[in-house]
Structure 1
Amino acid sequence: MQNQFLRFLLWRMVQFLPVVAMATLTIFSLIQLVPGDPAATIAGEYATAENIEAIRHSLGLDRPLWEQYGIWLWNAAQGDLSNSLLSGLPVMDEVLRRLPSTLTIAVLALCIAVIVGVPLGVLAATRADTMLDRLVTGIASLGVAVPNFWLGMILVSIFALGFGWFPTTGARPISEDFWGALHHAALPAATLATGGIAEIARQLRSSLIEVLQSQYVRTLRAKGLPNYLILWKHGLRNAALTLLTVIGLVFNHMLGATVATEAVFAISGTGSMIVNAAINKDFPVVQGAVFVLVLIVIVMNLIIDLFYSLLDPRVKKG
């Protein structure tokens, strides 16, 4: 069994290599489509054509695109994501400095979404077609529809400015002050978690209703098995694969949505760094930061696949 799992893990990692390669090509290609010349931005408003061309040559921007991509990919494989065009600092160092704040918000938001969304989904499924079910479904639909940036401003107005329970802006390094970091991340995480709670509750409700109405569960009821045992031992176990899929998708969405959330709460994270770099046409920073976030998404998908194999042995044979 252990050897089979290791083979499955190795095979999945090999399968993800083309995904990573395609992601790097996509990121590099999209960056090239962004209007503007980084060399002109660095040179300034009154620079001559000769100055701009000299900067382009020093940065390697006058080389063919395939050569630029090959150099960037080779360096990225060694952990070198180039340097910022404006500050001159290594992009990898800047990303690693800001990434913990982004991950703290996203992971905390995911925990909130699972802790709240799973009970709501179970409650709605076990009370299907009742007033309680319709209430949970309605709240879930509202949670999906509400924009994150608007909800963030409302939460700041009520719980930060009104009650003073949470800080309005900023973040703390989780490595230096664990509880302080969670305190600062609470409102941004709650903002992100709203849509995740709604999505998890809706999908789990649908999956559980399908399982609980199956012939298999009817047979268990006919044998006299208690409802709570049917729900927790059989219902949730059969719905676990759907739940894992939704959790993976929700986390990936949260990671992308941190861009708007960090702007609302003035958090110096990866999302805000990408926005600022895009405005200033600092393309190596945008390219490197997006690449790191894509790698995190790919790793998250790999982890979900591993949980699939643990919950359903048939996945290893697929």
Structure 2
Amino acid sequence: MPVLRFLFWRAMQVIPVIFMATLAIFGLVQLVPGDPAATIAGEYATAENIEAIRQSLGLDRPAWEQYGTWLWNAVHGDLSNSLLTGLPVLDEVMRQLPSTLLIAVLALVIAILVGVPLGILAATRANSMLDRVVTGIASLGVAVPNFWLGMILVSIFAVGFGWFPTTGARPLTTDFWGALQHAVLPAATLATGGIAEITRQLRSSLIEVLQSQYVRTLRAKGLSPALILWKHGLRNASLTLLTVVGLVFNHTLGATVATEAVFAIPGAGSMIVNAAINKDFPIVQGAVFVLVMIVIAMNLIIDLLYTVLDPRVKKD
């Protein structure tokens, strides 16, 4: 029951965050220059036609009234309809979202599988040449722009060797291996920053643990270095690692916008960009809202895992 109570209070704390997020999403979209009604009406439309479209879409109402209507409908699962296609926004987002989530999750898996061993290696060889090489590579991973790295990977592994498709995506439900093939290069592009962050943070946390009085006492008792590392060192550094993993996923999900553009992937990120260009504001608001909810859900999952790794969290 303490876990359920902990999650309940965490969920209550999320409600103001969701409200502020919706306010920010709606407000920023309103600041985008251009009139959606004029875009829909076309280049040669008259002022009367544009005004009629504005009235039919409710764009002539005050901003606060538009926000209230949108928020009320969003709470009930209605994210409005696309201004250009007339299709429900939620259906459009759900159609494009799986490609984005596949890339983000695969990038996170790659970052963990590569970053954790590198962080452990650097921490156990602190201040050695190997440590300097690993931390140098990690710093390079943060500095390299994703869009540039994506083009390099396409040139080498897609165009040069022909191992992976250059662009596009496949539905995960109907073509599992094809979807993975299309997702490998975009995920590898996004994973570089996550690898660097996990490596650096785990290294710092693990070094601090291994140099603590607690670990020195364990060494004095004759415990093997491997047992100290795996049973005590990593367990104490796990909260830091879990926090970094959550942050990496959130950052990766946001970074898919540029990566999807490089690889021409029909995902949520590219949909937001295209909708913003075409002034299809309901699509922009709805897609960003769904991504924000995913980030919030990820944070709640991280909070739950905190209670598993450290029961003291439930008492805070």
Pick aligned residue for 1:214 from 212, 215, 229: 212
Separation (CA, whole Å) in 1 of partners of 2:124 and 2:75: 50
Indicate the residue corresponding to 1:111 in structure 2: 109
Separation (CA, whole Å) in 1 of partners of 2:209 and 2:53: 63
Indicate the residue corresponding to 1:100 in structure 2: 98
The more displaced of 9-18 and 280-289 is: 9-18
Asked if residue 158 in structure 1 is aligned to residue 172 in structure 2, the reply is no
Paired residue secondary structure (1:294): helix
Indicate the residue corresponding to 1:77 in structure 2: 75
Indicate the residue corresponding to 2:129 in structure 1: 131
Indicate the residue corresponding to 2:297 in structure 1: 299
Displacement of 1:40:
1.1
List aligned pairs for 1:1-318, cutoff 5 A: 3-318=1-316
Paired residue secondary structure (1:166): coil
Deviations 1:126-146 (A, max 9, x none): 000000000000000000000
Aligned residue type for 1:50: E
Give the % identical residues: 84
Unaligned runs of 5+ in 1: none
Displacement of 1:23:
0.7
The more displaced of 138-147 and 305-314 is: 305-314
Deviations 1:259-297 (A, max 9, x none): 011011110000000000001111110010000000000
Separation (CA, whole Å) in 1 of partners of 2:260 and 2:9: 37
Moved over 6 A (4+): none
Separation (CA, whole Å) in 2 of partners of 1:180 and 1:17: 39
Displacement of 1:18:
1.3
Aligned residue type for 1:38: P
Aligned residue type for 1:284: P
Separation (CA, whole Å) in 2 of partners of 1:290 and 1:5: 30
Aligned residue type for 2:240: T
Unaligned runs of 5+ in 2: none
Separation (CA, whole Å) in 1 of partners of 2:308 and 2:12: 19
> TM (normalized to structure 1)?
0.98
> TM (normalized to structure 2)?
0.99
Aligned residue type for 1:18: P
Between the two proteins, the alignment pairs up a number of residues equal to 316
Deviations 1:136-192 (A, max 9, x none): 000000000000000000000000011110010111111112222111100000000
Separation (CA, whole Å) in 2 of partners of 1:316 and 1:17: 20
Separation (CA, whole Å) in 1 of partners of 2:150 and 2:120: 27
Deviations 1:234-256 (A, max 9, x none): 11011111101110110011001
Separation (CA, whole Å) in 2 of partners of 1:57 and 1:113: 49
Separation (CA, whole Å) in 2 of partners of 1:170 and 1:188: 10
